[in-house]
């Protein structure tokens, strides 16, 4: 790459001198042979110069595209492993801009920089060296013009660079509005907020427009300035050169070569200028990308233990947890989980019950290591879960989470996420989850296409797909977090019976709000405001636990109806 650029510079530098010789020697002495000979050399050099230019452009694009792709891959991988804390810290929309727009900026700049960062200074200094060695006075004319131009450029850059920074931030903001608009499209329409959202978008879009217009206006002053400088230099050169030709101290060919060198000089300054414009612009993007690559993952993955004898015994030991660590000691923030200690025996059916916000799902999220406890520890089969490799931990726990995530694809690809099951196994899981009854009615059966986030399924259908997905995975521990809430009582009982039978000898945790759903569990944990207030069977809790009795009383009416 460097060689190509250097060869192109040499060819550009040779041409004006040869031309000067053609004029001063060939034309002045009417030496046709010399003109033809030198002309042929000029054409050959020009052709090679062109080839070098094309090749350097080709390689620059290739290299920058490769680096861009690598960077994108790295950032994407990093994002995949970020903890929820870290994702919230940046915001999903900023992460999207950083993986797309910012990396494209870096890639574009790299393409330009690879070609020009070396070529421009090389041309600048060699042209100066050649002109100085040929004629000192004429070079002074050129230098004073270029110095003026450089001063002007510095001022413009000084004002435009901060604008680029704001430009990227504005793109983040616009992404956020669009994302919210798309995710919340139903709510926005239902609450007649369409106009409000449009105004919000227009406002952000207008701000972005203003910033980029101002930045581009500033930059657009550069080209006229370059042309003006170039014209002034040419006029001065011709005027002063003519005087020198008159008194015989300069030849016409030399003056013409000087004119060409002055073009090259101004052009190399413009190229340098482009490098100076694009590099700060990329610097903003590079910093934003590095910020992501530099994150030390909060959830470490350096465990190596694997327990092949494990049966899925779970133990919470004095587990306390804050989503946001309290920074100010005076301000009392209640923990989401408060000193939870319990053992869930393997191969049994456990349930967690408690009012909304009492910390049930948080207990599951900690078990899955989406977060680590603020204090205390969680053990599976008597080993701290931090000591297991994350991959292994994910393998031994199968969760149907409260917020069902459907990925774009087919019903089959949603049940068999790792694409390792036979059609029969997928259908079996769907049957046990009570989902096959609606799947078999679809024209394409398990190959029925699902939209992103499952918008072409009902809430209960989505839940059943999610249950089937959890069942299809071979694990030790199966967790169903509020997975039956959208099912009617009859379907719920049928599905639950089927899955209890299918998961015999596995550790099962069902999170629920209705006592009716879990009363035959071997062990029920009662959560209240982050605390584990009691555990036992339905009969034991009914006798001994006040909060459990309160829940029963509050749900009595519904039981009568059912
Ligand atoms: N990502 C989060 N960031 C901050 N706070 C959170 C987050 N998720 C949950 N919380 C808070 O933690 C508390 C417990 O939430 P959790 O989801 O565990 O409740 P839950 O018992 O599962 O409730 P539900 O029955 O409604 O699902 C709530 O007060 C909630 O506001
Ligand atoms: Mg929950």
Taking residues 497-512, what's their average pLDDT? 90
Q: Which ligand does the CA of 353 lie closest to?
A: 1
Contacts of 460 (CB under 8 A, 6+ apart): 486, 487, 488, 491
The fold adopted by the segment(s) 83-293 is ABC transporter transmembrane region fold (1.20.1560)
Cα–Cα distance measured from residue 114 to residue 55, given in angstroms and rounded to the nearest whole number: 12
Closest Cα to atom 28, ligand 1: which residue? 357
Q: State residue 102 phi and psi, 5-degree precision.
A: -60, -40
The answer to whether the 83-293 and 314-326+333-556 domains have the same CATH topology is: no
Residue 174 is predicted with a pLDDT of 87
Residue 562 is predicted with a pLDDT of 42
CA of 326 to the centre of ligand 1 (A): 16
CA of 362 to the centre of ligand 1 (A): 6
Query: Per-residue confidence at 560, pLDDT binned at 50, 70, 90?
Result: very low
Query: Per-residue confidence at 326, pLDDT binned at 50, 70, 90?
Result: low
Residue to substitute in 298, 336, 366, 371 for testing ligand 1 pocket (most ligand atoms within 8 angstroms of CB): 336
Residue to substitute in 84, 298, 334, 361 for testing ligand 1 pocket (most ligand atoms within 8 angstroms of CB): 361
Closest Cα to atom 19, ligand 1: which residue? 357
Compute CA distances 7 → 63, 83, 221, 270, whole Å. 19, 50, 32, 20
Placement of tokens 């009854």 in the chain: 437
Q: Which residues line ligand 1 (CB under 6 A)?
A: 323, 336, 354, 356-362, 402, 482, 513
> Which pLDDT tens digit goes with each residue over 43-98?
999 999 899 989 988 998 999 999 999 999 999 988 888 877 788 888 888 888 88
Question: Which ligand 1 atom sits nearest the alpha carbon of residue 362?
Answer: 18
Cα–Cα distance measured from residue 365 to residue 340, given in angstroms and rounded to the nearest whole number: 14
Placement of tokens 């604008």 in the chain: 163
Least-confidence region, from 130-144, 343-357, 531-545: 130-144
Residue 131 is predicted with a pLDDT of 86
Residue 537 is predicted with a pLDDT of 93
The answer to whether residue 353 scores a pLDDT higher than 60 is: yes
Q: 3-state DSSP call for residue 371?
A: coil
Mean pLDDT for all residues in the chain: 87
The answer to whether residue 405 scores a pLDDT higher than 90 is: no
Q: What is the DSSP letter of 248?
A: T
In the chain, the largest separation of any two C-alpha atoms, in whole Å, equals 121
The answer to whether residue 561 scores a pLDDT higher than 50 is: no
CATH for 314-326+333-556, among 1.10.3720.10, 3.40.50.300, 3.10.450.50, 3.40.1670.10? 3.40.50.300
**What are the structural domain ranges in the chain?**
83-293, 314-326+333-556
Residue 330 is predicted with a pLDDT of 55
Cα–Cα distance measured from residue 420 to residue 289, given in angstroms and rounded to the nearest whole number: 35
Taking residues 422-432, what's their average pLDDT? 91
Contacts of 248 (CB under 8 A, 6+ apart): none
CA of 400 to the centre of ligand 2 (A): 12
Q: What is the DSSP string of 169-222?
A: HHHHHHHHHHHHHHHTHHHHHHTT-HHHHHHHHHHHHHHHHHHHHHHHHHHHTH
Q: What is the DSSP letter of 385?
A: G
Least-confidence region, from 180-184, 194-198, 417-421, 488-492: 180-184
> Which pLDDT tens digit goes with each residue over 109-125?
888 888 888 888 888 88
Query: Per-residue confidence at 329, pLDDT binned at 50, 70, 90?
Result: low
Q: Which ligand does the CA of 324 lie closest to?
A: 1
Residue 504 is predicted with a pLDDT of 87
The answer to whether residue 506 scores a pLDDT higher than 80 is: yes
The answer to whether residue 536 scores a pLDDT higher than 90 is: yes
State which residues have CB under 5 angstroms from ligand 2, the bound ion. Answer: 361, 402
Q: Which ligand does the CA of 362 lie closest to?
A: 1
Closest Cα to atom 26, ligand 1: which residue? 356
Residue to substitute in 319, 322, 334, 358 for testing ligand 1 pocket (most ligand atoms within 8 angstroms of CB): 358
CA of 361 to the centre of ligand 1 (A): 7
Q: Which ligand does the CA of 525 lie closest to?
A: 1
The answer to whether residue 444 scores a pLDDT higher than 60 is: yes
The answer to whether residue 390 scores a pLDDT higher than 80 is: yes
Find the DSSP H helices in 411-458.
411-415, 423-432, 436-439
Residue 319 is predicted with a pLDDT of 95
Name the CA radius of gyration of the chain, rounded: 36
Q: Which ligand does the CA of 527 lie closest to?
A: 1
CB contact burial 9-29 (16+ within 10 A = b; e otherwise): bebbbbbbbbbbbbbbebeee
Question: Which ligand 1 atom sits nearest the alpha carbon of residue 482?
Answer: 27
CA of 384 to the centre of ligand 2 (A): 24
Cα–Cα distance measured from residue 551 to residue 535, given in angstroms and rounded to the nearest whole number: 14
Residue to substitute in 83, 88, 333, 360 for testing ligand 1 pocket (most ligand atoms within 8 angstroms of CB): 360
Give the residue with greater pLDDT, 321 vs 516.
321
> Which pLDDT tens digit goes with each residue over 148-189?
888 888 888 788 778 877 887 888 888 888 888 887 777 877
CA of 476 to the centre of ligand 2 (A): 22
Residue 331 is predicted with a pLDDT of 62
CA of 359 to the centre of ligand 1 (A): 6
Compute CA distances 411 → 425, 457, 488, whole Å. 13, 10, 22
Residue to substitute in 92, 322, 359 for testing ligand 1 pocket (most ligand atoms within 8 angstroms of CB): 359
Closest Cα to atom 12, ligand 1: which residue? 336
The answer to whether residue 277 scores a pLDDT higher than 80 is: no
Least-confidence region, from 224-228, 315-319, 475-479: 224-228
CA of 325 to the centre of ligand 1 (A): 15
């Amino acid at each position: 790459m460097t060689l190509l650029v250097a060869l192109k510079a040499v060819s550009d530098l040779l041409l004006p001198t040869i031309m000067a010789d053609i004029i001063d020697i060939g034309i002045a002495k009417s030496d046709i042979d010399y003109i033809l000979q030198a002309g042929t050399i000029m054409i050959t050099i020009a052709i090679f110069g062109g080839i070098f230019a094309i090749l350097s452009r080709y390689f620059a694009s290739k290299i920058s595209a490769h680096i861009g792709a690598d960077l994108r891959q790295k950032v994407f991988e990093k994002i995949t492993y970020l903890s929820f804390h870290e994702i919230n810290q940046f915001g999903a929309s900023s992460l999207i801009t950083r993986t797309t727009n910012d990396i494209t900026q870096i890639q574009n700049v790299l393409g330009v920089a690879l070609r020009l960062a070396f070529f421009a200074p090389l041309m600048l200094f060699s042209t100066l060296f050649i002109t100085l060695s040929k004629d000192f006075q004429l070079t002074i004319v050129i230098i004073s013009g270029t110095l003026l131009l450089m001063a002007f450029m510095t001022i413009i850059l000084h004002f435009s660079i901060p604008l680029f920074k704001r430009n990227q931030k504005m793109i983040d903001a616009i992404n956020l509005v669009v994302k919210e608009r798309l995710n919340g499209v139903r709510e926005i329409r239902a609450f007649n907020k369409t106009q409000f959202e449009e105004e919000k978008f227009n406002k952000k879009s207008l701000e972005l427009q203003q910033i980029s217009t101002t930045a581009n206006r500033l930059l657009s002053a550069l080209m006229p300035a370059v042309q003006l400088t170039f014209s002034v230099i040419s006029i001065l050169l011709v005027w002063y050169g003519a005087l020198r030709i008159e008194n015989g101290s300069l030849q016409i060919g030399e003056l013409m070569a000087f004119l060409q060198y002055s073009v090259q000089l101004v052009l190399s300054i413009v190229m340098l200028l482009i490098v100076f414009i694009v590099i700060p612009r990329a610097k903003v993007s590079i910093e934003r990308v590095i910020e992501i690559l530099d994150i030390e993952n909060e959830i470490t993955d350096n465990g190596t233990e694997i327990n092949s004898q494990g049966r899925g015994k779970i133990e919470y030991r004095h587990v306390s947890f804050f989503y946001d660590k309290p920074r100010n000691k005076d301000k009392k923030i209640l923990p989401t989980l408060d000193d939870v200690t319990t053992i869930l025996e393997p191969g049994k059916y456990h349930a967690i019950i408690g009012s909304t916000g009492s910390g049930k799902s948080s207990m599951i999220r900690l078990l899955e290591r989406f977060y680590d406890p603020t204090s205390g520890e969680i053990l599976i089969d008597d080993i701290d879960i931090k000591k297991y490799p994350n991959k292994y931990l994910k393998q031994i726990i199968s969760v149907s989470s409260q917020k069902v995530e459907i990925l774009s694809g087919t019903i089959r690809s949603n049940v068999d996420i790792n694409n390792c099951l036979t059609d029969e196994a997928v259908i079996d899981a769907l049957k046990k989850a009570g989902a096959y009854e609606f799947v078999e009615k679809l024209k394409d059966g398990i190959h029925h296409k699902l939209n992103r986030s499952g918008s072409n399924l009902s809430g209960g259908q989505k839940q059943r797909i999610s249950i089937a997905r959890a069942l299809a995975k071979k694990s030790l521990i199966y967790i169903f977090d509020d997975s039956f809430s959208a099912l009617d009582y009859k379907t719920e009982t049928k599905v639950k019976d089927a899955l209890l039978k299918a998961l015999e000898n596995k550790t099962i945790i069902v999170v629920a709000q209705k006592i009716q759903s879990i009363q035959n569990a071997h062990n029920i944990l009662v959560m209240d405001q982050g605390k584990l207030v009691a555990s036992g069977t339905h009969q034991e809790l009914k006798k001994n636990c006040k909060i459990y009795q309160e829940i029963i009383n509050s749900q009595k009416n519904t039981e009568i109806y059912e």
